[in-house]
Amino acid sequence: MNDNLIKFIAGWLLLISWGSVQNLLGEDAGPLKVYPPAPVLHGGRSSLQLVVDRQVGKLQKDVSEESTFRAMTPELLEVSERGNVTPIKTGAGKVEIVHEGVREEVSIRIENIIENKPWSFRDDVQVVLTKTGCNMGACHGSPSGKGGFRLSLRGYDPPLDIYTLRSEFFGRRTNIMDPADSLLLKKPLMEVAHGGGRRVKKGDVSYKVMHDWIAEGMKLDPAEEPDLVSVKIYPENRVFRPGAERQQIVLMGTFSDGSVRDLTPLACYSSSNENVAKVNDDGLVTKTSRGETAVLARYLDKMATCYITFLEDVPGFAWNNPAEKGFVDNLVFNKLKALQILPSDVATDEEFLRRAYLDTTGRLPTLAEVQAFNGNPSPNKRDELVDQLVDSDDFANFWALKWADILRSNSKKINVSGVNKFRLWIYESLRTDKPFDQFARELLTASGSSYENPAANYWRSSRDPQDATETTAQLFLGVRIQCAKCHNHPF
């Protein structure tokens, strides 16, 4: 192949690629938007992940991997190819970001570099133990631990954990003289047999934190160690159109001394719907299919959530403008329309009638009731039927039975007379449309004779105060505090 032909092909490919870029960006390409806003590097061991977003027409996407990063103040900071910034010395640093010819300068405040304090056991080491799963309930965080090694569940008890790591079994788990020879590092590296498998790799931030903490003498945190006050996730709620498949998220934490720190490398991440998107250990969200998911980021006892929606064009989709019955319908329909999902068809009169009677009264409608409903010419006959059913004795009877089951009305613990009086009290509460807060207040504050005050039968169904507490927490708070019987739970 001669030189002229090679030059021709190279020029042709360059022209095609440039045209593709122009088609993508077009005239609607917007400026670069960099997260987190007002970035700060606090301390010599801090780092900062920069995320670059760009609006391209209707398409908003994470262009961090396609951007180039350059330290404009190399004497103050360093920046990697992926936009991870580390400090060198105190000052006002700058990073240049370029994407497809568009340039952005980011100012970064660098502070407290001289104070190169040791890793914190609570804020760093225990976070690593949580991120790697070591102190989870299925591993060493179980009440009896695993393999003779026990940690507190999710790091709720730092003094216990530091004793276990430093002193238990004559300090065999850690080696200050040669940190890399510590069982605490060799097992998760699988250099020594480990039932939990490989949990870290050399070079990981998690490995570095654990290694350096051991090398520094595994010190206790000072009393004045600042507490984590809040966390914030960037970017916040985001809607992506076809062409945007990935999004790096950043978690920033604010501490009680006013300092701000990038928590992204050590935070724990999860996706509420992995059929829509998955998130890896570094906080990178990757699309799986169309839909919406909530991405949860957790650090110590603080959590933040962002909602990410991935849209796709559905061939032949046409919104059918269903009638709205209230503000909830409006919110639901807006979401379905954006996702290009048609709502289910409206139930027929026959289907609606059957469901309405079964759900409210526990029985099927009679022939006369079916004929009356079908013969009603009112356009609001469904609403009228619901009002009629909710006001009926059948509704109060049916739901009194359900509530009696929920409140554990049992003739073996409460005699038959007590059960009947309790059910009648529930029935009257429903029939008279008693507000639920009043219903709960009368139930939980009931005292005296259960014959004169039937609500007091609620307490007779419990064996002892502990049983009553567990039942009440589950029924009225939605919390199963029974877990604390076996687990030393952090919450």
Asked if residue 104 and residue 138 are part of one domain, the reply reads: no
Task: Detail the DSSP E strand segments found in 300-333.
Answer: 302-310
Does the residue 220 lie in any domain? no
Domain with 97 in it: what CATH number?
2.60.40.1080
Instruction: Indicate the pLDDT class of residue 116, thresholds 50, 70 and 90.
Output: low
Indicate whether 240 pLDDT > 60: yes
Instruction: Indicate the pLDDT class of residue 487, thresholds 50, 70 and 90.
Output: low
Q: Which of 27-41, 90-104, 179-193 has the highest mean pLDDT?
A: 90-104
Instruction: Indicate the pLDDT class of residue 13, thresholds 50, 70 and 90.
Output: very low
pLDDT tens per residue, range 42-61: 888 889 999 999 987 777 88
Instruction: Indicate the pLDDT class of residue 6, thresholds 50, 70 and 90.
Output: very low
476 DSSP assignment: I
Domain boundary among 188, 215, 242: 215
Indicate whether 5 pLDDT > 60: no
> With 0-12 CB in 10 A as exposed, 13-18 as middle and 19+ as buried, what is 413?
middle
Indicate whether 15 pLDDT > 70: no
Does the residue 223 lie in any domain? no
Domain with 260 in it: what CATH number?
2.60.40.10
Does the residue 490 lie in any domain? no
Indicate whether 28 pLDDT > 70: no
* Of residues 5 and 98, more confidently modeled: 98
Average pLDDT over residues 61-73: 93
pLDDT in the model for residue 115: 65
Give the lowest-confidence range in 96-105, 143-152, 231-240. Answer: 143-152
Contact criterion met (CB below 8 Å) for 289 and 117: no
In the chain, the percentage of residues whose pLDDT exceeds 70 is: 92
Domain boundary among 56, 80, 111: 111
How many structural domains does the chain have?
A: 6
Euclidean distance between CA atoms 303 and 164, whole angstroms: 27
Contact criterion met (CB below 8 Å) for 460 and 450: yes
Residue 312 Cα distances to 58, 229, 286, 337, 341, angstroms: 13, 39, 15, 11, 10
* Of residues 3 and 119, more confidently modeled: 119
Asked if residue 471 and residue 398 are part of one domain, the reply reads: yes
Q: How many CA atoms lie within 13 A of 62 on its CB side?
A: 24
Asked if residue 47 and residue 15 are part of one domain, the reply reads: yes
> With 0-12 CB in 10 A as exposed, 13-18 as middle and 19+ as buried, what is 320?
exposed
In the chain, the percentage of residues whose pLDDT exceeds 90 is: 47
Look at residues 307, 308, 313, 320 and name the one whose alpha carbon lies nearest to residue 340: 313
Look at residues 373, 296, 376, 309 and name the one whose alpha carbon lies nearest to residue 341: 309
Asked if residue 354 and residue 340 are part of one domain, the reply reads: no
- Cα radius of gyration (the chain): 31
Indicate whether 212 pLDDT > 60: yes
Structure-derived torsion over alpha carbons of residues 442, 444, 450, 453, reported in degrees to the nearest 10: -10
pLDDT tens per residue, range 263-273: 999 999 999 99
Look at residues 465, 457, 455, 381 and name the one whose alpha carbon lies nearest to residue 412: 457
Does the residue 222 lie in any domain? no
Asked if residue 190 and residue 126 are part of one domain, the reply reads: yes
Domain boundary among 82, 111, 140: 111
Provide the angle, in degrees to the nearest 10, between the axes of the packed helices 381-390 and 349-361.
Answer: 10
Asked if residue 107 and residue 16 are part of one domain, the reply reads: yes
Provide the angle, in degrees to the nearest 10, between the axes of the packed helices 381-390 and 393-406.
Answer: 60
pLDDT tens per residue, range 178-209: 888 888 888 888 888 888 888 888 888 899 99
Provide the angle, in degrees to the nearest 10, between the axes of the packed helices 393-406 and 349-361.
Answer: 50
pLDDT tens per residue, range 387-416: 999 999 999 999 999 999 998 887 777 788
Contact criterion met (CB below 8 Å) for 488 and 445: no
Does the residue 272 lie in any domain? yes
Euclidean distance between CA atoms 343 and 331, whole angstroms: 13
Q: Which amino acid type is present at position 181?
A: D
Q: Which of 220-224, 334-338, 373-377 has the highest mean pLDDT?
A: 373-377
- Note down the domain range covering 338: 320-344
Instruction: Indicate the pLDDT class of residue 84, thresholds 50, 70 and 90.
Output: very high
Instruction: Indicate the pLDDT class of residue 427, thresholds 50, 70 and 90.
Output: very high
Q: What is the mean pLDDT of the chain?
A: 87
Indicate whether 7 pLDDT > 70: no
Euclidean distance between CA atoms 324 and 69, whole angstroms: 50
Angle at 63 between CA 62 and CA 65, to 5 degrees: 110
pLDDT tens per residue, range 311-354: 888 899 999 888 888 899 999 999 999 889 999 988 999 999 99
Sign of CA dihedral 231, 237, 241, 242: positive
Indicate whether 134 pLDDT > 70: yes
Asked if residue 192 and residue 155 are part of one domain, the reply reads: yes
Q: For the sheet containing 59-62, what is the strand order? A: 29-35, 51-56, 59-62
Residues 6+ apart with CB under 8 A from 161: 121, 126, 129, 135, 151, 152, 155
Indicate whether 100 pLDDT > 80: yes
Does the residue 144 lie in any domain? yes
Look at residues 373, 443, 364, 460 and name the one whose alpha carbon lies nearest to residue 409: 460
Euclidean distance between CA atoms 31 and 269, whole angstroms: 29
Indicate whether 25 pLDDT > 50: no
Does the residue 12 lie in any domain? yes
Instruction: Indicate the pLDDT class of residue 231, thresholds 50, 70 and 90.
Output: very high
Asked if residue 399 and residue 386 are part of one domain, the reply reads: no
Asked if residue 306 and residue 366 are part of one domain, the reply reads: no
Indicate whether 21 pLDDT > 50: no
Look at residues 201, 177, 179, 178 and name the one whose alpha carbon lies nearest to residue 188: 201
Residues 6+ apart with CB under 8 A from 360: 386, 389, 390, 392, 394, 395, 398
Asked if residue 410 and residue 471 are part of one domain, the reply reads: yes
Asked if residue 11 and residue 80 are part of one domain, the reply reads: yes
Euclidean distance between CA atoms 130 and 149, whole angstroms: 15
Indicate whether 370 pLDDT > 60: yes
pLDDT in the model for residue 365: 96
Q: With H, G, I as helix, E, B as strand and everything else as coil, classify residue 456.
A: helix
Average pLDDT over residues 451-479: 86
Does the residue 271 lie in any domain? yes
308 DSSP assignment: E
Q: Which amino acid type is present at position 91?
A: G
Indicate whether 158 pLDDT > 60: yes
Asked if residue 272 and residue 210 are part of one domain, the reply reads: no
